[in-house]
């Protein structure tokens, strides 16, 4: 599903991650590692937000050679999302739905599921951190991606919404074979995510624990 080819990411000539040639199959993966080892950096690179040496591919679609096609296959929810404060949540969903070519009504279904209808037409600048997190998750599930990246999805989310998120992940993987990479310093409920596999980051390298 995901192929790293001579991947390297550095900041100011300081190496953060080096992944020579690793293929990650379809599935639901928990990226584990101590603070500062590069979990968020890895996800942002996969999402096509950060520059890096080498290349990353989903199937035969390479980020550096097929940028537009690649980014359509990847959705990303950041740990601390920031959106234009003057736009409403509904406008954000509508914008992303068009960009991701989501089927009609998908955004409305996700909004309803996540309990956002009472405030979805309010400006994003009025949202609490929990409301912003819900919005980021709704945006990440729009369209028909091959891979969804969730950075610290458990942060600022309530128990009820977390149950909905687990249900969304399982349904997407089981029904559509959409894969997930989740970075979380909090423990994921492995009983709620059957088949959850681990990717460890240590000493500037990743190891597959499955």
- The enclosing domain of 187 has a CATH number of 3.40.50.300
Whole-number pLDDT of residue 34: 87
The 10 Å Cβ neighbour count of residue 162 is 15
User: In percent, how much of the chain has pLDDT > 90?
Assistant: 87
State how far the Cα of 28 lies from the Cα of 25, in Å rounded to an integer. Answer: 9
In a domain, 54, yes or no: no
pLDDT 10s digits, 158-192: 999 999 999 999 999 999 999 999 998 888 888 99
- On whether the CB atoms of residues 46 and 149 are closer than 8 A, the answer is yes
67 domain-assigned? no
Q: Can you give the residue range of the structural domain that contains 157?
A: 28-37+74-209
Number of structural domains found in the chain: 1
Q: How far apart are CA 3 and CA 23, in angstroms?
A: 4
In Å, what is the CA distance from 168 to each residue of 59, 110, 135, 175, 202?
A: 23, 9, 14, 10, 30
Specify if 22 maps to a domain: no
pLDDT for 210 beyond 80: no
Q: How confident is the model at residue 111 (pLDDT cuts 50, 70, 90)?
A: very high
Strands 28-32 and 179-183: what pairing? parallel
């Amino acid at each position: 599903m995901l192929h790293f080819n001579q991947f390297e990411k550095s900041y100011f000539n300081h190496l953060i991650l080096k992944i020579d040639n690793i293929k990650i199959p379809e599935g639901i993966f928990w990226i584990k590692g101590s603070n500062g080892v590069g979990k968020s950096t890895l996800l942002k690179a996969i999402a096509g937000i950060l520059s890096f040496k080498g290349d990353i591919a989903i199937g035969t679609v390479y980020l550096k050679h097929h940028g537009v096609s690649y980014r359509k296959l990847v959705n990303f929810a950041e740990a601390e999302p920031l959106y234009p404060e003057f736009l409403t949540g509904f406008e954000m969903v509508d914008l992303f739905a068009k960009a991701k070519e989501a089927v009609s009504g998908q955004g409305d279904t996700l909004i309803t599921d996540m309990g956002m209808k009472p405030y979805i037409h309010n400006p994003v600048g009025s949202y609490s951190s929990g409301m912003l997190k819900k919005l980021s998750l709704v945006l990440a599930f729009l369209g028909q991606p091959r891979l969804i990246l969730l950075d610290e999805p458990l942060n600022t989310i309530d128990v009820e919404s977390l149950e909905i998120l687990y249900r969304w992940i399982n349904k997407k993987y089981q029904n559509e074979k959409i894969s997930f990479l989740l970075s979380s310093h909090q423990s994921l409920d492995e009983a709620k995510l059957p088949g959850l596999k681990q990717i460890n980051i240590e000493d500037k390298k990743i190891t597959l624990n499955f």
